[in-house]
């Protein structure tokens, strides 16, 4: 083994270690890999940064934008609701309907986005038929992963192995080449979940942390929010006079929310004769929706929500009079303009591990956290001092506009507790346009009228030009961490090839496995890939193992298509760990799952998928 091989293996071992431990973000690790490959001169600068201009990276970025437009226009949610309407009330029919719905959607868009869109609906549906969400949320997650195996654009590994074929002068996979094996895997996955799998799923009751989507009125009652309503009067001598809400820092300093300002309207001049004026002053107070720029006046009555101690501290600091709340004040908690919602923190949320004051939550998101629920913990965490954890549910209060804006920050939040009528996507009227553009892109791909990269980039630009989403929203929907990960690990794959490691490993494996049928080699590649994908991202796994599969096929003198497709499919079979895929972590808190739940249900499904792959792929792609 040469020195270059040893250095390359060291860089790879470093990357895998940090991917598994998450001591550094995966995109940072990928950038370190690129820089190290340049510094050690294993690759030239042009070769090391070539991944950032790779067609794979451009295609994946475009697909993120297209998926974002489908979400933003409400097209995905509309399709999902229509399919779920025919689900019925039994666990078997609901499980099948959920998995079919999410598989269809994730075949054409991000599986994470699909699960985030359907998660509240599935929880609500489970509650309506008195079924524990833990019986449906793992099927939701697994259905999304299975759906990604059905089309070329279903998941990045599918695109990666197809591009590898193209780079080596072979016929790449076409759009529906994955569909035969993908449909069989989806069908078998559904059959497993509605028979054996449903008996393995835990039944976590509400007392054990079960979550459900509730109306604002139900949330108000459960959190006893009217008990924390107060009236504060701005005295003439108050230092608050002339300041706005932003300057007063009600949320940042005191964790108190101004729900409404009751203020007498300005006097109106009814009649003016010379220097004499007839002025009319209304006695009835009018409700004013506060904004950060709203300036306080003398005699303003503030309807506020907050802990009694925090409210008393605020009143003393600003010299405000404290008055008991009136029954009519409860309308200020939730109405057409402002409201409350519960939001779930997924595992990769940037809020995890930090306190709300450290995050400046109120200033950044313009919302106030009224409470924190932590599944499995009876005593609610302290709002000011608790370090947030994966699975925490924050009760936030503020304008519906700001609450709904959290839906765009899907990495950090899953909005669960707002009414259906307030969930309307900003570009609902653009849903037909988004559907037409998506259909046009699929026709271009299936008919091979344009290359995959060209058609996806064209569709992404059309989504922006037609107003299905803005350019800023498009940037927000791109998962830049994934983009940098792919761009950074492609050179690592190139380095493994250039120093001869892939060829060396492939030759040794060929000698060891030469007596075996290629079918068993497919099984070995599938098993290896699926093990790696439980601890690494499916993208990184595919980038590293696909060249090895290709080299083995060359050494054996067989067509590589079956071997490469087995790698791509196995990379999506991330069933056995809650951290193997974002969709698994997304449902973990909502279903109150444990690590063992995924292993118990996911391991048999991986083995079933491996057996099907070994049987079917050689029939579709003969050696």
pLDDT digits (tens, 9 = 90+) for 366-413: 887 888 888 777 788 888 788 998 888 898 887 777 887 887 787 788
Indicate the class that CATH gives domain 217-332: alpha beta
Rounded to whole angstroms, the Cα distance separating 534 from 528 reads 10
| Burial class, 86, CB count within 10 angstroms (exposed 0-12 / middle 13-18 / buried 19+) | exposed
125-129, 374-378, 486-490: which is most confident: 486-490
Are 536 and 19 spatial neighbours (Cβ–Cβ below 8 Å)? yes
At 209, the pLDDT band (50, 70, 90 cuts) reads: very low
Asked if residue 339 has pLDDT above 80, the reply is no
Residue 181 · residue 572 · CB < 8 Å: no
Residue 211: predicted pLDDT: 44
Helix (H) or strand (E) holding 404, with range, is helix 400-405
pLDDT tens per residue across span 556-576: 888 999 999 999 999 989 898
- What confidence tens digit (pLDDT) does each residue in 62-109 have? 888 887 888 778 777 677 667 666 767 788 888 998 999 899 988 887
Q: What is the 3-state secondary structure (H, E, C) of 422-461?
A: HCCCCCHHHHHHHHHHHHHHHHHHHCCCCCHHHHHHHHHH
Inter-axis angle of helices 3-21 and 480-498, to 10 degrees? Answer: 160
Distance CA(54)–CA(486), nearest Å, equals: 9
In contact, 579 and 593? CB cutoff 8 Å: no
pLDDT value at 474 more than 70: yes
Burial of 2 (0-12, 13-18, 19+ CB in 10 A): exposed
User: What is d(CA 225, CA 423) in angstroms, rounded to the nearest whole number?
Assistant: 22
217-332 shares its CATH topology with 339-418: yes
**Range from 28-37, 68-77, 229-238, 431-440 carrying the lowest mean pLDDT:** 68-77
Please write down the HEC assignment for all residues of 451-514.
Answer: CHHHHHHHHHHHHHHCCCCCHHHHHHHCCHHHHHHHHHHHHHHHHHHHCCHHHHHHHHHHHHHC
**C-alpha to C-alpha distance for 171 and 556, rounded to whole angstroms:** 19
What separation, in Å, do the N-terminal and C-terminal C-alpha atoms of the chain show?
31
Indicate the fold that domain 339-418 takes in CATH.
Alpha-Beta Plaits (3.30.70)
Task: Find the helix or strand (DSSP H, E) in which 322 lies.
Answer: strand 320-323
Query: Per-residue pLDDT tens for 502-534?
Result: 778 777 777 776 667 889 989 989 998 888 888
**Beta-bridge mates of residue 280:** 268
DSSP secondary structure string, 26-92? HHHHHHHHHHHHHHTTSS-HHHHTGGGG-HHHHHHHHHHHHHHHHHHTTHHHHHHHHHHTT--SSHH
- Spell out the domain ranges in the chain: 3-30+51-207+434-620, 217-332, 339-418
> What's the mean pLDDT in 577-598?
75
- Band of pLDDT at residue 207, cut at 50, 70 and 90: very low
CA distance 416 to 344: 7
pLDDT digits (tens, 9 = 90+) for 266-284: 665 555 655 665 555 555 6
Segment 176-201 shows an average pLDDT of: 93
């Amino acid at each position: 083994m040469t020195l270059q091989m040893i250095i390359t293996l060291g860089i790879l071992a470093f990357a895998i270690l940090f991917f598994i431990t998450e001591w550094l973000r995966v995109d940072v690790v990928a950038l370190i890999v690129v820089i190290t490959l340049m510094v050690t001169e294993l690759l030239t600068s042009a070769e090391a940064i070539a991944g950032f201009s790779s067609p794979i990276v451009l295609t994946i970025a475009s697909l993120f934008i297209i998926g974002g437009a489908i979400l933003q226009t409400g097209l995905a949610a509309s399709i999902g609701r229509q399919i779920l309407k025919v689900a019925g009330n039994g666990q078997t029919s609901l499980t099948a309907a959920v998995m079919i719905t999410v598989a269809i959607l994730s075949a054409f868009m991000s599986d994470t986005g699909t699960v985030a869109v359907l998660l509240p609906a599935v929880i609500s549906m489970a509650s309506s038929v008195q079924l524990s969400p833990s019986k449906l949320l793992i099927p939701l997650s697994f259905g999304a992963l299975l759906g990604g195996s059905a089309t070329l654009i279903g998941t990045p590994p599918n695109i990666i192995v197809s591009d590898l074929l193209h780079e080596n002068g072979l016929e790449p996979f076409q759009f529906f080449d994955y569909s035969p094996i993908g449909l069989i895997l989806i069908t078998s996955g559904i059959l497993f979940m509605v028979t054996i799998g449903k008996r393995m799923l835990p039944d976590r009751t509400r007392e054990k942390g079960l979550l459900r989507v509730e109306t604002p009125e139900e949330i108000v009652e459960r959190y006893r929010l009217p008990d924390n309503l107060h009236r504060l009067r701005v005295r003439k001598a108050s230092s608050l006079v002339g300041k706005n809400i932003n300057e007063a820092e009600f949320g940042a300093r005191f964790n108190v929310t101004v729900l409404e300002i009751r203020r007498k309207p300005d006097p109106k001049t009814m009649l003016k004769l010379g220097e004499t004026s007839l002025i009319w002053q209304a006695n009835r107070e009018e409700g004013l929706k506060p904004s950060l720029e709203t300036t306080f006046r003398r005699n303003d009555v503030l309807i506020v929500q907050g802990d009694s101690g925090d409210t008393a501290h605020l009143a003393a600091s600003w010299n405000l009079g404290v008055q008991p709340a009136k029954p009519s004040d409860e309308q200020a908690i939730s109405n057409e303009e402002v409201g409350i919602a519960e939001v779930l923190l997924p595992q990769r949320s940037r809020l995890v591990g930090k306190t709300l004051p450290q995050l400046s939550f109120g200033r950044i998101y313009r919302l106030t956290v009224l409470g924190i629920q932590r599944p499995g913990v009876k005593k609610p965490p302290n709002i000011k001092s608790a370090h947030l954890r994966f699975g925490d549910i924050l009760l936030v209060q503020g304008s519906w506009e700001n609450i709904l804006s959290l839906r765009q920050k899907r990495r950090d939040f899953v909005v669960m507790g707002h009414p259906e009528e307030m969930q309307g996507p900003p570009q609902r009227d653009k849903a037909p346009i988004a559907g037409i553009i998506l259909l046009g892109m699929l026709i271009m791909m299936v008919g091979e009228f344009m290359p995959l990269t060209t058609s996806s980039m064209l569709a992404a630009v059309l989504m922006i030009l037609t107003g299905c989403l803005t350019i800023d929203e498009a940037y927000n929907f791109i998962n830049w961490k994934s983009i940098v990960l792919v761009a950074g690990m492609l050179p690592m794959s190139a380095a493994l090839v250039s120093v001869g490691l892939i060829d060396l490993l492939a030759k040794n494996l060929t000698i060891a496995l030469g007596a075996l049928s290629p079918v068993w080699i497919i099984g070995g590649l599938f098993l290896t890939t699926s093990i790696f994908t439980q601890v690494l991202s499916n993208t990184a796994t595919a980038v590293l193992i696909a060249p090895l599969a290709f080299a083995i096929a060359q050494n054996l003198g067989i067509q590589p298509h079956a071997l490469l497709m087995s790698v791509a499919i196995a990379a999506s079979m991330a069933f056995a760990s809650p951290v193997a895929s974002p969709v698994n972590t997304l449902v973990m808190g909502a279903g109150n799952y444990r690590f063992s739940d995924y292993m118990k249900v996911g391991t048999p499904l991986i083995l079933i998928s491996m057996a099907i792959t070994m049987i079917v792929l050689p029939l579709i792609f003969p050696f």
